[in-house]
Amino acid sequence: MDIFIQQVVNGLVLGCIYALIALGYTMVYGILGIINFAHGDILMVGALTALSGILGLQYLFPSMPQWLMLVVATLIAMPACAFLSYGIERVAYRPLRNAPRLAPLITAIGISIILQTLAMMIWSRNPLIFPTLLPSSPIDIFSTGAVITGKEIVIIVLSFVVMVGLLLLVNRTKLGRAMRATAESPRIASLMGVNPNFVISATFMIGAALAAVAGVMMATNYGNAHFYMGFIPGLKAFTAAVLGGIGNLAGAMIGGILLGLIEALGAGYIGDFTNDVFGSNYQDVFAFIVLIVVLVFRPSGIMGERVADRA
Amino acid sequence: MTTPLLSVQNINKRFGGLQALSDVGLQIAPGQIYGLIGPNGAGKTTFFNVITGLYTPDSGTFMLDGKPYQPIAVHEVAKAGIARTFQNIRLFGDMTALENVMVGRHVRTKAGIFGAVFRPASVKREEAAIEDMAHDLLEYVGIGQYAHYTARNLSYGHQRRLEIARALATEPKLLALDEPAAGMNATEKVELRALLDKIRQDGRTILLIEHDVKLVMGLCDQMTVLDYGKVIAQGLPQDVQKDPAVIEAYLGTPAH
Amino acid sequence: MKKKKLAIVGFVAIALLAPFIAQTFGGNYWVRILDFALLYIMLALGLNIVVGFAGLLDLGYIAFYAVGAYLMALLSSPQLTTQFAELAQLFPSGIHLGFWWVLLIAGPVAALFGVILGAPTLKLRGDYLAIVTLGFGEIIRIFLNNLDRPVNITNGPKGINAIDPVVFFGIDLSKAQELFGITLSPSLMYYYLIMALVIGVVFISFRLQHSRIGRAWVAIREDETAAKAMGINTRNVKLLAFAMGATFGGISGVVFGAFQAFVSPESFVLWESIYVLAIVVLGGMGHIPGVILGGILLVGFQEFLRELAEPVQKMLFGQVYIDAEVLRQLLFGLALVVIMLYRPSGIWPAPKREDRPVTRTGARTRSGTNPLEGGAR
């Protein structure tokens, strides 16, 4: 029981980050039916851009409160990623809308590689330290033995705020209605006056902004950022999206948090379960196993998939 | 009457809230061209998909050539003797016309990996026979000279005929055609009718979904009319044509 | 027809002389490059069966390479006998099965892995299949990296070394030999060994392509539903594709293990799977000569870049702005995007030749038989 609460807390933090990334995947898959392989690397660009922003702010306005620096840097990273993602969609995905499935996947892989190498060139091949701008001293949780830090609380709270914001956007605004319509059937939506290209671009941009926030959260949580930081979390977030039901927003959120919990609890307990044959170094394997199990036994995910009818 | 080639009874299929097929049954005698008509959404393609294994019915019995028939796995259907074409042509686009038809021979041939790699005399003979029959079938349907054309580059009418040739390659007992005349102009329809006639004369049985009333009336020996998943008329074309239920449900002016 | 035959003869001649040319002008380093190029080509031809013929997007193909390599490492090196005393007792002179026996075993073992990894993917659509196979590839790599505790099977990230070299009729290929006064370096001898295997793989691929199974693979790739409707047991045929591809991957791995005498999980990362996929896709999916060309171009260009990137930059700009390695990766990514946008069927796709005359090469040379005669059987 002693590590249970702690692992739940860790899993929740991890899961919130996965959820934000998963939303980007699920929205794009819901409308276009493709996996945006490069999405994880957008997260990386967001984190590194924010890092540069912070360093810049530290240089220009050294007396600015730390948390404000983080906020400003994130607000710089979000539109940067949004425009990057917009550009990627225009250049690499839009021309291949009607090509066989293999083509956009290959271009996505190519874009992923390009982003990583550019990041290597612009920032560095080595991991860079991400300044700790939020309180990170452990706080005891009601004497359960588990601890949580200020930054982790911020991550959880902020994630929920963002997720609620997205749900409001999708369910209560005109753009959201257009997005839902296009996700159901792009053709019919266009007959109703919705410009599918506009909606698709908006979807990419919103997803990218979320990924940027997730990237900053990750960098804050682990204290570093590097060019390869987005790839594996990206894959895991995709697993989360599938787990929750691809194309389904609520599914992505639930899937993300669930996956985070599975990973944390798994890593925490696997040593005990297997008599130390397998340790927490197999952590990454959990996500892949979840993916395979879900796709084989319940491919529509927990909450059911919602993919566009592109007959 | 002789044993029906295909006899189905009590087919029911429900999709969520929609009862797509209710207690549908029909019998096709060997050597007939049998028509299945009905307004859009009546369940004709659903019925096709049920007898060819793409959908699992909620209930129903099937008999093919006097023996019970279970259309469970799609790939077993061709082996049992039913070959189909599709409403929106599903050819193997990147393969040539000849290769498409050769794939049709898959179910009646048996070379495996070892045969492929070592090519003993028996496999060489089998391959030669496959290629011969494929050429013959392409000529039979009238596109022999396009043997090496990539399937997706063929004209629409030729693609339809290629799909029929491919289905014939499986040596089916029943050839099930899903709207073979869709999208064809008048000349092409006349040619199609001649082809289907020829196939019937050569002893094959055809089940046909079609919207073109004139084509169907002149060609079919017997018909079933579906509406909202139910059979509303069955029998000879001239009788079905006059049936008030049918006229009410579907038949407008036949002239196109 | 004559021009084509001449081209093939010329190509074969160059291929046979290549290592000597490379050695003379570049030294042993370049002969080793040729050896790795051939290994990549062999891998690409194996992946070509899965991706090119059957259209199954496998992003974890390198796992089969790993299976072959580690089989060679475990069955023909000191690793197992040093780690497990019981085995050392059973095999006092060590487990040294040797290249040829391992090669024989690796085929079926890799095929089995192919079936195991392929089975869960049979119902998956393209993108999902890619991610799942990627996951499998990563799982295998993680296991290889971590199976040094609690019992040391794979020696983890440190890898296994002292793998036995290939011994061919008593000749140890890892030691230079003298023949008619010419010194044959190990790299040179391995070149001809790998080349022989590549020729075998090419031959088998061709046979498979023009066979009932090959047509079934392409049918599944083009339209799986129609393939099923034509009586193709798509589950079994897909598993066959995975098994064949895996077999070639495994065989390549065995050669790699013996050649390099060292294996570690580092050689089997995701990037390698992507690289092999790129060779297939950029070269010409499903087109065997295209895949070979893709391998030559990609490896060649990579080395070319490695040699020239820095000197050229120094010459043009006075200093090196972009590391050769980084530049290579950047251009690789760009190539993937650009070729998919402008030449999606690859640099050398299968030629169509639609207007070639319709001649029958089957048994009968005359038409006129009614194919429907004889009734339905």
Q: Residues C215-256: pLDDT tens digits?
A: 999 999 999 999 999 999 999 999 999 999 999 999 999 999
Cβ within 8 Å, pair C223-B93: yes
pLDDT at A305: 74
Residue C97 has a pLDDT of: 84
Q: State the nearest Cα–Cα gap between B1 and chain C, in angstroms.
A: 20
d(CA C248, CA B191): 49
pLDDT-derived band at C376 (thresholds 50, 70, 90) equals: very low
- The residue of chain A with its CA nearest to that of C125 is A101
Indicate the pLDDT class of residue A187, thresholds 50, 70 and 90.
confident
Q: Is B36 helix (H, G, I), strand (E, B) or coil?
A: strand
Residue C96: Cβ within 10 Å count: 15
Closest CA to C335 of C377, C286, C292, C277: C277
Cβ neighbours for A268, distance < 8 A, ≥ 6 positions apart: A3, A4, A6, A7, A10, A280
pLDDT-based confidence at residue C71 (cuts at 50, 70, 90)? very high
Confidence of residue A110 (pLDDT cuts 50, 70, 90): very high
Question: What interface predicted TM-score (ipTM) does this complex get?
Answer: 0.91
pLDDT classification of A65: cutoffs 50, 70, 90: confident
Binned at pLDDT 50, 70 and 90, residue C367 comes out as: low
Query: Can you say how many angstroms the Cα of residue A14 is from the centroid of all Cα atoms in its chain?
Result: 10
Contacts of C149 in chain A (CB under 8 A): 279
Residues of C within 8 A of A112 (CB-CB) are: 333
Cβ-nearest to B132 among C354, C363, C372: C363
B200 with B30: CB under 8 angstroms?
no
* Residue in C230, C247, C370 to test binding to B, most B beta-carbons within 10 Å: C230
- Closest by alpha carbon to B224, among B80, B85, B33? B33
- A-chain CB neighbours of C281 within 8 Å are 102, 106
How far is the alpha carbon of C7 from chain B, nearest alpha carbon, in Å?
A: 25
For residue B147, the chain C residue with the least C-alpha distance is C358
Residue A133, pLDDT > 70, answer yes
Comparing CA positions, the residue from B148, B125, B123 lying closest to residue B135 is: B148
- Taking an 8 Å cut-off on Cβ atoms, the answer to whether C232 and B106 are in contact is yes
Q: Which of C211, C231, C362 sits opposite B79 (nearest CB)?
A: C231
DSSP alpha helix (H) spans, chain B: 44-51, 74-80, 97-104, 113-118, 121-141, 156-169, 186-201, 213-219, 237-242, 244-249
pLDDT of residue B255: 55
CA pair distance A220, A176, nearest whole angstrom = 30
Least CB-CB distance to C364: which of B119, B132, B148?
A: B132
Contacts of B5 in chain C (CB under 8 A): none
CB contact under 8 Å between C120 and A105, yes or no, is no
Please indicate if any CB of chain C lies within 8 Å of the CB of B67: no
Is the distance from CB of C263 to CB of C154 less than 8 angstroms? Answer: no
The residue of chain C nearest to residue B113, with distances taken between CA atoms, is C213
Of B117, B133, B150, the CB nearest to C352: B150
CB atoms A291 and C138 under 8 Å: no
Identify the weakest region by mean pLDDT among A5-19, C270-284, C299-313.
C299-313
Q: Determine whether the interchain pair B93/C222 forms a contact, defined as Cβ–Cβ distance below 8 Å.
A: yes
Residue C281 pLDDT greater than 80, yes or no: yes
CB of B108 less than 8 A from some CB of C: yes
Q: What is the token pair recorded at C124? A: 């998956």
User: Which amino acid belongs to residue A10?
Assistant: N
Residue contacts between B and C (CB atoms, under 8 Å): 158
Percent of chain C with pLDDT over 90: 47
The per-residue DSSP string of C292-343 comes to HHHHHHHHHHHHHHHHHHHHHHHHHHSS--S-HHHHHHHHHHHHHHHHHHH-
For residue C148, the chain A residue with the least C-alpha distance is A277
Pairs of residues, one from chain A and one from chain C, whose beta carbons lie less than 8 Å apart: 117
CB contact under 8 Å between A110 and C341, yes or no, is no
Sheet holding B18-28, edge to edge: B18-28, B6-15, B59-64, B67-68
Q: How far is C14 from chain B (nearest CA, A)?
A: 27
* Sign of the Cα pseudo-torsion (C333, C337, C340, C343, in order): negative
C283 neighbourhood in chain A, CB within 8 Å = none
Q: Using the predicted structure, report yes or no on whether residue C32 has a pLDDT greater than 80.
A: yes
Q: Among C106-115, C141-150, C361-370, which range has the highest average pLDDT?
A: C106-115
pLDDT at C228: 93
Q: Do A101 and C136 lie within an 8 Å CB cutoff?
A: no
B95–C215: do the CB atoms touch at under 8 Å?
yes
pLDDT tens sequence across A26-53: 999 888 888 888 999 999 999 999 999 9
First to last CA, chain A: 51
pTM of the prediction? 0.90
Q: Sort out which chain C residues have CB atoms less than 8 A from A276's CB and list them.
A: 150
B150 touches chain C (CB under 8 A): yes
Question: Token digits for A235?
Answer: 């894959």
How far apart CA B83 and CA B176 sit, in angstroms, is 6
Chain C residues with CB inside 8 Å of A235's CB? 131, 134-135
Report DSSP state, residue C348.
S
Angle between helices C324-342 and C270-284 (to 10 degrees): 40
Residue A107: which region, alpha, beta or left (left: phi > 0; alpha: psi -120 to 50)? Answer: alpha
What residue in A sits closest to C336 (Cα-Cα)?
Answer: A110
Chain A residues bordering chain C (beta-carbon distance below 8 Å): 34-35, 91-92, 95-96, 99-107, 109-114, 116-118, 120-121, 125, 235, 238, 242, 276-279, 281-282, 284-285, 288-289, 291-292, 295-296, 299
The pLDDT, as a whole number, for residue A64 is 80
Give yes or no for residue A113 having a pLDDT over 90. Answer: yes
Note the Cα C282 to chain centre separation in Å: 15
Chain C contact present for B201, CB below 8 A? no
Nearest-Cα distance to chain B for C100, in Å, is 21
A77-100 pLDDT, tens per residue?
Answer: 999 999 999 999 999 899 988 887
Q: Are C131 and A284 an interchain contact pair (Cβ–Cβ within 8 Å)?
A: no
Record the tokens describing residue C135, joined without a space.
């996951």
Of A16-25, B159-168, C258-267, C313-322, where does mean pLDDT reach its minimum? C313-322
- Pairwise CB contact (< 8 Å): C218 & B99: yes
Per-residue pLDDT at B135 = 92
Residue of B nearest to C350 (CA): B94
B171 in reach of chain C (CB within 8 A): yes
Asked if A33 and A45 touch (Cβ cutoff 8 Å), the reply is no
Q: Residue B168: which of B219, B121, B108 has the closest Cα?
A: B108
Please name the member of A100, A279, A291 whose beta carbon is closest to the beta carbon of C135.
A291
Extract the residue ranges of chain B whose pLDDT is less than 70.
Answer: 1, 250-256
Q: Which range, A139-153, A261-275, B78-92, has the best average confidence (pLDDT)?
A: B78-92
**SS3 category, C68:** helix
What are the pLDDT digits (tens) for C84-117? 878 877 777 778 888 899 999 999 999 999 999 9
Residue A311, pLDDT > 50, answer no
User: How near does any CA of chain A get to the CA of C346, in Å?
Assistant: 11
pLDDT for res A58: 85
**Per-residue pLDDT averaged across C293-308, rounded?**
87
Task: Choose among A100, A109, A120: nearest Cβ to C336.
Answer: A109
Contact state of B106 with C231 under an 8 Å Cβ cutoff: yes
Name the pLDDT band for C368 (thresholds 50, 70, 90). Answer: low
* Distance separating alpha carbons of residues C212 and B110, to the nearest angstrom: 8
Distance from CA of B147 to the nearest CA of C (A): 7
| B155 vs C contacts (CB less than 8 Å) | none
Asked if the Cβ–Cβ distance from C358 to B153 is below 8 Å, we say no
Q: Are B170 and B117 in contact (CB under 8 A)?
A: no
Tell me whether residues C230 and B90 touch, CB distance under 8 A: no
User: Which pLDDT band, with edges at 50, 70 and 90, does C374 fall under?
Assistant: low
What band does A310 get if pLDDT is binned at 50, 70 and 90? Answer: very low
Beta strands A138-140 and A147-149 are antiparallel
Nearest chain A Cα distance for residue C31, angstroms: 29
**Range of A57-71, A294-308, C103-117 with top mean pLDDT:** C103-117
Task: Name the neighbours of C, counting chains with at least 3 Cβ pairs within 8 A.
Answer: A, B
